Amino acid sequence: MKRPICTMLTLLSILGTVCAQHSVRATFGKPFGRSEERIERRFWIDLGKGNRLCLELEDARDLAKFTNIDSLLLVFIADMAPFNDSLTDPLSWHQIDYVTDAAGKKKVRLQTFHPTAASYLLDQAEPAALRLEQDTIQIVLEYPADEGRRHDGIRQDRLSLYLNDYHELPNYITGGLNGKIHWLQSNMKGYWVRDKNGYRAEKDPTISAPQPAGYVAMVNDYLGSVIQLNVGNYKNYFAPSFGLGIGLHFNGEYGSRSFTALWQPVFLFATNAQGHAQTYRNEFLTISISREWKDPMNKHIINLVPSLSIGRLIRRDGEFFEKNSYNLFIGHINLLRNNLVLTPGMYFHELFKEVTPAVNLKIDF
Q: What distance in Å separates the CA atoms of residue 231 and residue 343, rounded to the nearest whole number? A: 10
Window from 18-32, 47-61, 188-202, 246-260 with minimum mean pLDDT:
18-32
Query: Smallest Cα–Cα separation from 344: which of 237, 232, 252?
Result: 232
Q: What distance in Å separates the CA atoms of residue 270 and residue 273, rounded to the nearest whole number? A: 10
Q: Which one-letter DSSP state was computed for residue 28?
A: -
pLDDT of residue 23: 33
Residue 239 has pLDDT above 60, yes or no: yes
The DSSP line for 316-339 is --SSSS-TTEEEEEEEEEEETTTT
pLDDT of residue 57: 92
Q: What distance in Å separates the CA atoms of residue 305 and residue 307, rounded to the nearest whole number? A: 6
Query: Where is pLDDT greater, at 149 or 184?
Result: 184
Residue 21 has pLDDT above 60, yes or no: no
Q: 176-200 pLDDT, tens per residue?
A: 999 999 999 999 988 898 887 788 9
Q: 281-334 pLDDT, tens per residue?
A: 999 999 999 987 655 444 456 778 899 999 999 999 999 999 999 999 999 888
pLDDT of residue 25: 34
Residue 86 has pLDDT above 60, yes or no: yes
Query: Where is pLDDT greater, at 301 or 238?
Result: 238
pLDDT of residue 140: 93
Q: 250-269 pLDDT, tens per residue?
A: 876 556 789 999 999 999 99
Q: How many Å is the Cα radius of gyration of the chain?
A: 28
Estimate the share of the chain in helix, then strand, then coil, as percent rounded to the nearest 5: 20, 50, 35
CATH 1.10.1200 for domain 2-21+219-364, yes or no, is: no
Tell how strand 135-144 and strand 93-100 pair up: parallel
Query: Where is pLDDT greater, at 146 or 341?
Result: 341
Helix (H) or strand (E) holding 311: strand 302-315
Mean pLDDT of 237-247: 94
Q: What distance in Å separates the CA atoms of residue 145 and residue 151, rounded to the nearest whole number? A: 10
Residues contacting 264, CB < 8 A, separation 6+: 228, 230, 241, 242, 243, 244, 245, 283, 284, 285, 286, 311
Mean pLDDT of 204-209: 94
Within 17-118, residue ranges assigned H as helices are 69-80
pLDDT of residue 44: 95
Residue 248 has pLDDT above 80, yes or no: yes
Q: 213-223 pLDDT, tens per residue?
A: 888 865 567 78
pLDDT of residue 151: 47
Instruction: Provide the residue ranges of all domains of the chain, joining segments of one domain with +.
Output: 2-21+219-364, 26-214
pLDDT of residue 28: 42
Q: In this structure, what are the phi and psi dihedrals at residue 187, rounded to the nearest 5 degrees?
A: -120, 15
Supply the mean pLDDT for the chain: 82
Q: 107 pairs with which residues across the strands?
A: 99
Query: Where is pLDDT greater, at 239 or 38?
Result: 239
